[in-house]
Amino acid sequence: MIHCQNCTTRNSLNREFCWKCGARLLVPSGPAPFDAGLPFMEEHVLERISALEYSINTLTKRVDSMMETIERVAASNFIDHTMIETLTDSLESAGIDLANLESEWRKRIDSRILETEEVDRLSARMQRIMESYKGSDRQQFSLWIEKSYDLLVADRAPESIHFLKTALEHDAANHELGLLLAEVCFQNKEYVTAIDYLRRVLDARPAHFEAMFLMGLVQQRKGDLHEAQTRLENAVGLKSDSSAAHASLGSLFAEVGNRKKALKHLATALKLKPSAPVHFLLGAVYYDSGQHKRAIGHLRKATELDPDFDEAFYQLGLLCLEMNWLKKAQECFKTAQALNPKEGRYRKRVRSFSEEATGPDQLNGLIREELRLVKYPAPPKRTK
C-alpha cells in the first residue's frame, strides 16, 4: 500500500492516481520490472526531493523575513527604551517623584486595551443592527448608524441619541437598535425614554435578559421600586449566574429594608464574581443591622479589591472611629482624602453610609462590565 501525498489516503501499489482525490501519486505506479531496478525509481524520488527543496526554500525565505522584522522591532524598542530612560532621569533630576510611574503606565495600557475592545464590540453591534434592517432605504439608514457610531466612539454619546432615534423611526422593528438606544438613554438618565424603547424590545422578546435587566435598573432609578423588583427578579430567573443582576436585586432589597433578602443576593453576587462595590454594599447592610465587625470586614475587602475606592476608605474610617480604633480611623481618612483631594464631603459628612453612598449607582461599574454597555463619557467632577 502507498499513501497519497495530497490527502494521505492509502492506495494500492498498482494505482497511478489517488482513488479519493485524484492526485498523481509521486511513486512508481504498477509493479516495476525486475531488470529495471533502481533507475526506474530515481525519477520519482528526485521529483519528491525537488518538491521538498522548494518547500524548504520558501520556508527559509519566510523565516529570513521574520528575522528582519524582529530585528527592526528590537532596534525600535531599544531606541524607545533609551528615550524613556533619558526622560525618566531628566524628570528625577528636576525633583519630580516618579514612584508611581510604572503602575500608572500599566493602568493606561489596560485602559487602552479596554477601549479597543469596547470599540470592537460596538462595531459588531452596529453590524448586527444593519443586518436586522428591514426597510427600503438602506443607504440613508446606514448613514445614520455610521454617524451615531462615530459619536459614540468619540465619547459624545448624548449627541448620538438624535441619530439613533431617527434611525429607529424608519425601522421600528429593529430590536437591536432599540436596545442600543435604551442603553444610551439609561446612561444619559433619560429614564422615561429608555422605558419606552425597552418595552418595545420586551414585547417582541419577553425573555430578553439584557432588556429585562435594564428595565429593572431604570425603574429602580425612576423610583418605581415594586416594578423594579419584579423586573430584576425576572432577570435573575432568566440568568441565575449573573453577578450584576443578583447585586442589583440585593441593592434594591437593601433600599426597601429587606435585609435578609439583600444579604442573600449580595452574597450570591460575590460567589459569582468578587467585586469591591458588592462588598461595600454588604458592609452597609451589616452596619444597618448593627453588625459592625462584619461591616468592617467587608469594607476592608472592598479596599483590597479596589485600592482607589475612596468612599470605602472613608466609611471604614467612620466605623473604626465608632469602634474607638483611632489610629486606624486616621489612616483611612488620610487615604480617602489623598485619593480624592478635591472632594470636600469628607469634612462635611459624618454619617455612615449615606443614601448617596449606597444608592444603586454604586453598582454602575459592575453593571456596565457585565452588560458590556456602550462607552459613555464620565460625569464631570463635583466641586466644593
Q: Within 13 A of 61's CA, how many CA atoms are on the CB side?
A: 5
Give the separation between CA 219 and CA 235, rounded to whole angstroms: 13
- The DSSP bridge partners found for residue 2 are 11
Evaluate if residue 32 carries a pLDDT over 80.
no
Residue 7: per-residue pLDDT: 77
pLDDT tops 80 at residue 377:
no
Mean pLDDT for all residues in the chain: 83
For residue 332, the number of C-alpha atoms closer than 13 Å in the C-beta half-sphere is 24
End-to-end CA distance of the chain: 88
Residue 83: per-residue pLDDT: 81
pLDDT tier, 28 (very low <50, low <70, confident <90, very high otherwise):
very low
- Residue range 363-367: average pLDDT? 87
DSSP 162: H
CATH match for 255-384 among 3.40.718.10, 3.40.50.150, 1.25.40.10, 1.10.760.10: 1.25.40.10
Contacts of 355 (CB under 8 A, 6+ apart): none
Q: Which residue has the cell 479596589?
A: 306
- Residue 38's CB is within 10 A of a number of other CB atoms, namely 8
Work out the burial of residue 225: count CB atoms within 10 Å of its CB; fewer than 13 is exposed, 13-18 middle, 19 or more buried: middle
Query: At residue 289, does pLDDT exceed 80?
Result: yes
Residue entry with cell 464620565? 378
Burial 310-323 (b: 16+ CB within 10 A, else e): bbbbbbbbbbbbee
- Does the pLDDT value for residue 273 go beyond 90? yes
The residue ranges of every structural domain in the chain are: 1-30, 255-384
Span 81-119, pLDDT tens digits? 788 788 878 887 888 777 777 777 777 877 777 778 778
Say what the pLDDT of residue 48 is.
65
CA-wise closest residue to 299 among 104, 321, 257, 103: 321
**Length of the chain, in residues:** 384
Which of 113-122, 128-137, 224-233 is modeled with the greatest confidence?
224-233
The single residue listed with the C-alpha cell 427600503 is: 136
Q: What pLDDT, on a 0 to 100 scale, did the predictor assign at position 344?
A: 53
pTM (whole model) above 0.75: no
Q: Are the beta carbons of 171 and 177 closer than 8 angstroms?
A: yes
The pLDDT value given to residue 232: 96
What phi and psi, each to the nearest 5 degrees, are found at residue 63?
Answer: -65, -40
Report the C-alpha gap between 209 and 186 in whole angstroms: 16
DSSP string, 144-156: HHHHHHHHHHTT-
- Report CA-CA distances (Å) from 157 to 143, 179, 190, 375: 17, 15, 13, 8
Buried b (16+ CB within 10 A) or exposed e, 328-366: bbeebbebbbebbeebeebeeeeebbeeebbebbbbbeb
Question: What backbone torsions phi and psi does residue 205 show, to the nearest 5 degrees?
Answer: -135, 85
Q: How far is CA 197 from CA 62, 202, 224, in A?
A: 54, 9, 17
Residue 188 phi/psi, 5-degree rounding, is -90, 5
The predicted-structure confidence for 292-332, as pLDDT tens digits, reads as follows 999 999 999 999 999 989 999 999 999 998 889 999 999 99
Please give the Cα distance from 55 to 60 (Å, whole number): 9
| Closest CA relative to residue 341, chosen from 377, 281, 381 | 381
